[in-house]
Amino acid sequence: MCRIAGIAGLNRNGDERELQVKEMCNKLKHGGPDDGGIYRDDNNNLVLGNRRLSLIDLSPAGHMPMAYENRYHITYNGEIYNFEDLKTELKALGFSFSNHTDTEVILAAFSQWKTLAFAKLKGMFAFALWDSVEKELYLVRDASGIKPLYYSLNNSGMVFGSEIRAFNRQTQQPGWEPWEVYLMAYGHIPEPITTLSGVKPLPKGCFLKYNIASGKSSLQSFAHYSYSEWQQDADQIKRNVATRLEEAVKRHLVADAPLGVFLSGGLDSGILALLAEKFKHQQLVTLSIYFKEGYYSEKKYQDIIQLKLQCEHRQFLLEEQEFNQSLPEILEAMDMPSCDGINTWFISRHAKNNGMKAVLSGIGGDELFGGYPSFMRIPYARAIQDYAGSLTGMGKSANHKVLKRMQYLKMEGIHGIYLFLRGLFNPLDIARYLDMTEKQVWEILNQFPVYPNIRRLDKGNQASWMEFNMYMQNQLLRDADVMSMIHGVEIRLPFLYEDVIRYAISIHPKYKYGGRWPKQLLIDSFSGILPREIYDRPKMGFSFPFQEWLKSSSLVKNLMEGAGTMLGNSYKDFLNGRMHWSQFMTLVLLRHKKAIV
Amino acid sequence: MFGATGGIEKVCRIVAKALFEMTLVDRVKLNVMSMHDRQDQGDENRYFPTESFKAFNKKKVSFIAAAVRAGAKSDLVILSHINLLLVGWLIKKISPRTKIVLFAHGIEVWRELSPRRKMMISCCDHIFSVSSYTAGIVSKIPGVGSGRSEVLNNCLDPLLPQKNKGIQNHKLREHYGFSDSDRVMFTLTRLSSRERYKGYDKVLEAMVNLMPQYPNLKYLVAGSYDAKEKAFLDDLVIKLGLTGYVKFAGFIPDESLIDHFAMADLYVMPSMKEGFGIVFIEAMFYGLPVIAGNRDGSVDALLNGKLGVLVDPLNVDEISAAISKVFNHTETYKPNRELLLAQFGYDTYKIKLGNLLKPTTVLQAV
């Protein structure tokens, strides 16, 4: 797990190029504190850079960028969980290896299978691989989009990096910045938008081939996930869900450095901890955060899981004062603004303070097995979108949050549904804050992202598709990556192991989403080990006491002082409990970025 | 698209993949509809995600209704076969602004079109032919003209596996009773008594000429066959005195194709009615010298002879001479990989397809 950066072309001399990549790497140093390296090929105008966080083969043999057969070079960020299997296969084909890293396996796999190798890698990854014979540079990103990779491509060359902060603002093309509109509508900046208009994320499951000699590039997809309804045997489904997740957890525990499990108190992380203990026994450490504010605290449920485990549990009490002290640092850590991810910042810091380098998290469970309210709400949203278009007009003048968002159902497809269910501000409000016309806001929101028509899918699978490809992709995974790597901690996601995903999305919706509780199938699959209290309980919304804490933040107060009337009124609304913290947080972020006055 | 393994199905899968990848970079939406497939046949395909794939399991009327309805709302509709002309024609009637593109592969457009099709083909704004040979015939169809006819050569499947580094050819040779020192010729095609135009019978005749010079010459013909054709070939082998020198492998699954190409020394198929001949570029991808006929789309696949040897498919002596020439100068006749990829690589195909389709925003492939 590391951070990567690099430059190909761009009409500079080798020293300048190297200097720029080193600068990019320095900006990403937090994500790779253990080692740093540069590969430079002046004949091909190429520099690859790497900051390393070592987890497998901690020796200098894992130094990056790494070379193979004197032909292939890689700078890589991620973990390949099936690398031992691939290594065995490659050894049988006559390949030899000089170290114990998964990095070298990627290189040998590419030497053998070329671009078909990418689909064989099961894990989370983003890398740049240089083939010095074909003069081709490949940027590659995993099928779930867990690891980020951004690039900027023009006639003179290409620049890439793990985070937006690595890019020079010079890559910014002049003009106006639509990301502000997206942030206010979504609460985050959805792919393919970024805060720098010349910089794009590489789509998940894709590789970009860039030929240095010709300057030509080609984007190809190498893996994707499609929903089906193959699995229809209820008993077999439960058994298979259990064995696949267990296998995934086992593979995610492979590390030569200390590793823990985030315990939220919920079902998904509970299952992961219970499974992980099987393989790691007493070596396992669970980590959690709790609050004095009883209503928000999940401590009771964390303790219930802990009682079933023999391992060490490190709980961390987060209090208002510390929250507010850390807030400035958190805003800087964000890379691109997002109204969420603060919880991940704290728990990752807690992990780091306890000597952990990698931690398992339950992201993906809600998306694949139906843990969100959207699974219930999507049929109604579709019905309004299809048959009651006139109702959407009511939203414009309405005061109620949900009615206001109903306007979004005017947008076709899953876009409209998402913003209705999860959007923050409606277009009229966005226009007012950003001093633009409502029409302009609609135009921007309609332009990107472009999503496929998913109506063919069952409603439950539509919700799953939406949560997986929109909310998880653009909010959860990005936030988790940035907020953990800022502390040099790697988050591993067993629910997003390829075998788990492929199986989950092939289960007939009838067996996947039915039942008394959300994620009933997960409950049934692990009924033997799961304490009843973990699922037979009222569902928590967001589990941080933000609404109260933000009110006393001096940073927020300073930012809001001197703001215009509109923002001032919003601050008052927030203080009086008339504005939700996530909406207010978005305004804070915009103010912080000097995007609104 | 997924229910059969023919060349046209392969083209459809590759086109759908290319179109899907266009949706990742441009503001384009894609719907893919298939009349013959079952929905589940597309489920785990590696070419494109199936959220927007709709299969109709041979329900012709539902397919036509749905395709026309969706097509009329689209900016562009691609018909993958002339049998879908009615769909395009209806769409054009309802939505004249919708651009219709027809893919022309081979014999399905070479034969005289029915009066109804001749009338309907005017709905097509463009016809993309897989070879210049097909395009030549298409442009002579009344109402089409050269202005609407374009050539879009087929390409290598981007999911074609790479040749293994140290592959053991020995085992497969042993399986067919060939020795390591044998010179093995290979043909892969369906063997049908009704479509005997692939030229394998002519290759058998040529073998008779070549046996004195190459006593270790062997011929492997792979592909499913009908009983009548198999009986004809068995008789022919006996009649020509080639017993023990020729093997009919029957159907071989896609995953073992690579081993067959790796085992052979030469791919030979002097066909008469090849729309393009994807198998030629696949054989060349695996480094095999290729001999093909000079009277059809094969001419494009071999790049007018730059990538392999073109022969008169009816002239047995010419076929014999070509085989002998290749065996005597194997290295000279190995295909130029760089040229092959530049011409028939998937990247090139995608660029050409993109240029031909521009400027459109909504895609509909049926």
Band (B361; pLDDT cuts 50, 70, 90): very low
Give the closest of A226, A229, A506 to B49, CB-based. Answer: A226
CB contact under 8 A, B29 and A450: yes
- Quote the DSSP letter at residue A484: H
Band (A255; pLDDT cuts 50, 70, 90): confident
As a whole number of angstroms, the longest Cα–Cα distance in chain A is 71
B262 located within any domain: yes
- A229 to chain B: nearest residue by CA? B40
DSSP structure string for A272-288: HHHHHHHHHGGG-EEEE
- Asked if A210 and A201 touch (Cβ cutoff 8 Å), the reply is no
CB contact under 8 A, A116 and B27: no
| Chain B residues with beta carbon closer than 8 angstroms to that of A454 | 51-52
Q: What is the mean pLDDT of residues A368-374?
A: 96
Render pLDDT for B19-44 as a digit per residue (tens, 0 to 9): 999 999 888 899 999 999 999 999 98
Angle between helices A427-434 and A179-186 (to 10 degrees): 140
B229 located within any domain: yes
> Is a pLDDT exceeding 60 seen at residue B363?
no
Q: What is the value of pTM for the model shown?
A: 0.94
Same domain, B245 and B329: yes
DSSP structure string for B7-71: HHHHHHHHHHHHHHHHHHHSS-EEEEEESSS-GGGGTT-SSS-STTEEE-TT-HHHHHHHHHHHH
Mutate to test the interface with B, among A221, A445, A461 (most CBs of B within 10 A): A221
User: How far does the CA of residue B274 sit from the closest CA of chain A (Å)?
Assistant: 29
Render pLDDT for B259-302 as a digit per residue (tens, 0 to 9): 999 999 999 999 999 999 999 999 999 999 999 999 999 999 99
Q: pLDDT averaged over chain A?
A: 91
Q: Supply the pLDDT for residue A197.
A: 84
**Cis omega (within 30 of 0) for bond into A148:** no
Query: Pick from A436, A408, A404: which is nearest to A420 by CA?
Result: A408
Q: Supply the pLDDT for residue A283.
A: 81
Q: What is the mean pLDDT of residues B167-176?
A: 82
- B24 to chain A: nearest residue by CA? A203
- The answer to which of A417-426, A544-553, B146-155, B215-224 has the lowest mean pLDDT is A544-553
- The answer to which of A34-43, A229-238, B182-191, B260-269 has the lowest mean pLDDT is A34-43
Same domain, B17 and B97: yes
- Asked if A268 and A540 touch (Cβ cutoff 8 Å), the reply is no
What percent of chain B clears pLDDT 70, i.e. is strictly above it? 96
- Quote the DSSP letter at residue B191: B
For residue A577, what are the contacts with CB-CB under 8 A and spacing of at least 6? A547
Same domain, B195 and B82: no
- Asked if B196 and B185 touch (Cβ cutoff 8 Å), the reply is no
| Chain B residues with beta carbon closer than 8 angstroms to that of A203 | 24
Q: For residues B324 and B91, what is the distance between their CA atoms, to the nearest angstrom?
A: 54
For residue A395, what are the contacts with CB-CB under 8 A and spacing of at least 6? A403, A404, A405, A406, A407, A408, A426
- The answer to which of A53-62, B75-84, B263-272 has the lowest mean pLDDT is A53-62
Q: Supply the pLDDT for residue A188.
A: 97
- A209 to chain B: nearest residue by CA? B347
Q: Supply the pLDDT for residue B167.
A: 55
- B361 to chain A: nearest residue by CA? A450
How buried is A244 (Cβ within 10 angstroms: 0-12 exposed, 13-18 middle, 19+ buried)?
buried
Render pLDDT for B185-201 as a digit per residue (tens, 0 to 9): 999 999 999 888 999 99
User: How far does the CA of residue B152 sit from the closest CA of chain A (Å)?
Assistant: 19
Q: What is the mean pLDDT of residues B200-215?
A: 97
Same domain, B248 and B330: yes
The domains of chain A are located at 2-178+190-221, 234-369+460-535
| Chain B residues with beta carbon closer than 8 angstroms to that of A94 | 165-166
Distances (CA, A) of A61 to A134, A556, B53: 26, 47, 47
Same domain, B105 and B62: yes
Q: Is B188 left (phi over 0), alpha (psi -120 to 50) or beta?
A: beta
Q: For residues B155 and B349, what is the distance between their CA atoms, to the nearest angstrom?
A: 6
CB contact under 8 A, A454 and B161: no
DSSP structure string for A62-119: G-SSEEETTTEEEEEEEEETTHHHHHHHHHHTT---SSS-HHHHHHHHHHHHGGGGGG
Render pLDDT for B330-340 as a digit per residue (tens, 0 to 9): 999 999 999 99
Cβ neighbours of A384 (radius 10 Å) = 17
Q: Which helix (H) or strand (E) holds B366?
A: none
CB contact under 8 A, B51 and A465: yes
- Asked if B164 and B137 touch (Cβ cutoff 8 Å), the reply is no
Same domain, B182 and B326: yes
Give the closest of B20, B31, B166 to A453, CB-based. Answer: B31
Q: Look up the ipTM and state it.
A: 0.93
Superfamily of domain A2-178+190-221: Aminohydrolase, N-terminal nucleophile (Ntn) domain (3.60.20.10)
- φ/ψ of B102, rounded to 5, equals -110, 135
Residue that is written with structure tokens 């298979």 in the block: A240
Same domain, B70 and B94: yes
B164 located within any domain: no
| Chain B residues with beta carbon closer than 8 angstroms to that of A209 | 347
Query: Pick from A104, A74, A73, A72: which is nearest to A90 by CA?
Result: A104
User: How far does the CA of residue A297 sit from the closest CA of chain B (Å)?
Assistant: 40
User: How far does the CA of residue B358 sit from the closest CA of chain A (Å)?
Assistant: 17
Distances (CA, A) of B191 to A335, B196, B225, B232: 62, 7, 4, 11
> Is a pLDDT exceeding 90 seen at residue A372?
yes
Render pLDDT for A115-132 as a digit per residue (tens, 0 to 9): 999 999 999 999 999 999
Per-residue HEC secondary structure of A151-195 comes to EEEECCEEEEECCHHHCCHHHCCCCCCCHHHHHHHHCCCCCCCCC
- Asked if A137 and A96 touch (Cβ cutoff 8 Å), the reply is no
Same domain, B116 and B184: no
Q: Supply the pLDDT for residue A173.
A: 55
CB contact under 8 A, A456 and B54: yes
Q: HSE of B183 in the Cβ direction (CA atoms, 13 Å)?
A: 18
Identity at A303, one-letter amino acid code? D
Same domain, B122 and B32: yes
Q: What is the mean pLDDT of residues A176-189?
A: 91
For residue B253, what are the contacts with CB-CB under 8 A and spacing of at least 6? none
Q: Supply the pLDDT for residue B282.
A: 97
User: How far does the CA of residue A545 sit from the closest CA of chain B (Å)?
Assistant: 39
Interface of B with A (CB under 8 A): 17, 20-21, 23-25, 27-31, 40, 42-44, 46, 48-54, 158-159, 161-162, 164-166, 346-347, 350-351
Q: For residues A84 and A105, what is the distance between their CA atoms, to the nearest angstrom?
A: 8
| Chain B residues with beta carbon closer than 8 angstroms to that of A115 | 158
Q: For residues A503 and A240, what is the distance between their CA atoms, to the nearest angstrom?
A: 8
Distances (CA, A) of B302 to A356, B245, B264, B309: 59, 27, 18, 8
CB contact under 8 A, A450 and B20: no
Query: Pick from A523, A525, A542, A541: which is nearest to A533 by CA?
Result: A523
Give the closest of B27, B40, B351 to A450, CB-based. Answer: B27
CB contact under 8 A, A453 and B28: no
- B22 to chain A: nearest residue by CA? A219
Q: What is the mean pLDDT of residues A508-526?
A: 95
- The answer to which of A88-97, A129-138, A278-287, B322-331 has the lowest mean pLDDT is A278-287
CB contact under 8 A, A221 and B54: no
Contacts across the A-B interface (CB distance below 8 Å): 80
Same domain, B224 and B293: yes
SS3 of residue B284 by DSSP: helix
Same domain, B192 and B136: no
Query: Pick from A401, A513, A527: which is nearest to A465 by CA?
Result: A513
Q: What is the mean pLDDT of residues B162-172?
A: 72
Distances (CA, A) of A521 to A262, A271, A556, B28: 22, 13, 43, 37
Q: Supply the pLDDT for residue A11.
A: 75
CB contact under 8 A, B43 and A506: yes
CB contact under 8 A, A219 and B25: yes
Same domain, B242 and B120: no
Number of continuous H segments (helices) and E segments (strands) in chain A: 26, 17
Q: Supply the pLDDT for residue A522.
A: 97
- A461 to chain B: nearest residue by CA? B51
Query: Which tokens is B282 given?
Result: 């696949």
Give the closest of B24, B46, B159 to A203, CB-based. Answer: B24
Q: Could you tell me whether strands A136-141 and A123-131 are parallel, antiparallel, or unpaired per DSSP bridges? A: antiparallel
Under CATH, which architecture does the A234-369+460-535 domain have?
Answer: 3-Layer(aba) Sandwich (3.40)
Q: HSE of B277 in the Cβ direction (CA atoms, 13 Å)?
A: 34
Angle between helices A267-280 and A234-252 (to 10 degrees): 60
User: How far does the CA of residue A105 sit from the closest CA of chain B (Å)?
Assistant: 16
Band (A388; pLDDT cuts 50, 70, 90): confident
CB contact under 8 A, A221 and B48: yes
Q: pLDDT averaged over chain B?
A: 93
Q: Supply the pLDDT for residue A135.
A: 96
Q: For residues B54 and B43, what is the distance between their CA atoms, to the nearest angstrom?
A: 11
- Asked if A38 and A30 touch (Cβ cutoff 8 Å), the reply is no
Q: Which helix (H) or strand (E) holds A511?
A: helix A509-512
- Asked if A365 and A498 touch (Cβ cutoff 8 Å), the reply is no
Q: Could you tell me whether strands B29-34 and A312-317 are parallel, antiparallel, or unpaired per DSSP bridges? A: unpaired
Distances (CA, A) of A90 to A84, A117, A169: 10, 11, 43
What domain range includes position B240? 169-344
Q: For residues A369 and A535, what is the distance between their CA atoms, to the nearest angstrom?
A: 14
Residue that is written with structure tokens 């601050």 in the block: A571
User: How far does the CA of residue B351 sit from the closest CA of chain A (Å)?
Assistant: 9
Q: How many domains does chain B have?
A: 2
Q: For residues A37 and A77, what is the distance between their CA atoms, to the nearest angstrom?
A: 13
The CATH number linked to B329 is 3.40.50.2000
B275 located within any domain: yes
Q: HSE of A124 in the Cβ direction (CA atoms, 13 Å)?
A: 26
Band (B303; pLDDT cuts 50, 70, 90): very high
Q: Supply the pLDDT for residue B359.
A: 55
Band (A295; pLDDT cuts 50, 70, 90): low
Interface of A with B (CB under 8 A): 93-95, 112-116, 119, 203, 206, 209, 216, 218-221, 223-230, 447-448, 450, 452-454, 456-457, 465, 506
> Is a pLDDT exceeding 60 seen at residue A171?
no
Q: Could you tell me whether strands B149-151 and B126-129 are parallel, antiparallel, or unpaired per DSSP bridges? A: parallel
Q: For residues A145 and A469, what is the distance between their CA atoms, to the nearest angstrom?
A: 9
Give the closest of B48, B51, B159 to A457, CB-based. Answer: B51
CB contact under 8 A, B51 and A114: no
Mutate to test the interface with B, among A222, A226, A473, A507 (most CBs of B within 10 A): A226
Q: Supply the pLDDT for residue A595.
A: 72
Render pLDDT for A42-54 as a digit per residue (tens, 0 to 9): 999 999 999 987 7
Strand order in the sheet with B290-293: B246-250, B217-222, B183-188, B266-269, B290-293, B309-311
Query: Pick from A389, A301, A397, A298: which is nearest to A343 by CA?
Result: A298
